[in-house]
Amino acid sequence: MAKIEKEQVITSYHGKLYSRLFAYMKPYLKNFIIALLLVLLVSGFALIQPMLIARAMDTYIEGYDLPYAYVSKEEAEIEYNGLYLSKSIDFENSNYDSYAQMLYDGDKYYLYTDLTKEKSAELQAVSDDELNIVSQDDKTLTVVSEKGNQYTGKVLDKEELKLLRQTDYDGVKRIAILYAVVLLVNALCNIAQTLILQSAGQRIIYNIRNEIFEHIHSLPLRFFDTHPVGQIVTRVTNDVESLNMMYSNVIVNLVRNTVMIIGYATVMFSLNFKLALVSMALLPFVVVITALFTKISRKTYRMIRTKVSALNTFLSEHISGMKLIQIFAREEEKYRQFSESTEDLFRSRMREIMVFAIFRPLINFTANFALAIVLYKGAHSVLEGALTVGTLYIFTSYIRSFFEPIQELTEQFSTLQNAFASAEKIFTLMDETNPIKELDEPVILPEVKGKIEFRHVWFAYDDEEYVLRDVSFIINPGEKVAFVGATGAGKSSILNLIGRYYEIQKGEILIDDVNIKELSTEQIRRAIGQVQQDVFIFTGDIKSNIRLLNENISDQKIVESSIAVNANHFIDRLPNKYDEAVTERGSTLSAGQRQLLSFARTLAIDPKILVMDEATANIDTETEQLIQKALKTMMEGRTTIMVAHRLSTIQHADNIIVMHKGKIRESGTHQQLLAQDGIYKKLYELQLYSNN
SS3 content of the chain, % helix, strand, coil (to 5): 60, 15, 25
3-state SS, residue 147: coil
pTM of the predicted model as reported, rounded to 2 decimal places: 0.69
Interval 678-692: pLDDT, tens: 888 888 777 776 555
CB under 8 Å to 685, separation ≥6 — which residues?
none
Q: pLDDT class for 13, splitting at 50, 70, 90?
A: low
CA distance linking residue 254 with residue 245, whole number of Å: 12
- End-to-end distance of the chain based on CA atoms, in angstroms? 36
pLDDT of residue 181: 92
| pLDDT at res. 7 | 44
Top pLDDT among 121 and 689 is at 121
Yes or no: say if 413 and 405 are a contact pair by the CB < 8 Å rule. Answer: no
- Range scoring the smallest mean pLDDT among 102-111, 159-168, 229-238, 494-503: 229-238
Q: Which phi and psi angles does 212 have, rounded to 5°?
A: -65, -45
Q: What is the pLDDT of residues 67-87, one digit of tens each?
A: 888 888 888 888 888 888 888
pLDDT at position 333 over 70: yes
Residue 179: how many other CB atoms lie within 10 Å: 15
Average pLDDT in the chain: 81
Sequential DSSP letters for 360-389 = HHHHHHHHHHHHHHHHHHHHHHHHTTSS-H
- So what's the pLDDT on residue 454? 92
Question: How many Cβ atoms are within 10 Å of 376's Cβ, its own excluded?
Answer: 10
Q: Read off the pLDDT band of 564 (50, 70, 90).
A: confident
Radius of gyration in angstroms for the set of CA atoms belonging to the chain, rounded to a whole number = 43
Query: Which domains, from first to last, does the chain contain?
Result: 17-56+172-430 (1.20.1560.10), 64-164 (no CATH), 452-691 (3.40.50.300)
DSSP 5-32: PPPPP-----S-HHHHHHHHHGGGHHHH
- Sheet strands (E) in 512-578: 514-515, 528-531, 540-541
Residue 226 has pLDDT above 80, yes or no: no
DSSP secondary structure letters along 318-332? HHHTHHHHHHTT-HH
Residue of 665, 269, 417 lying closest to 682 (CA atoms): 665
The residue length of the chain stands at 692
Q: Which of 103, 116, 107 is nearest to 144 (CA)?
A: 103
Q: Give the separation between CA 522 and CA 566, rounded to whole angstroms.
A: 29
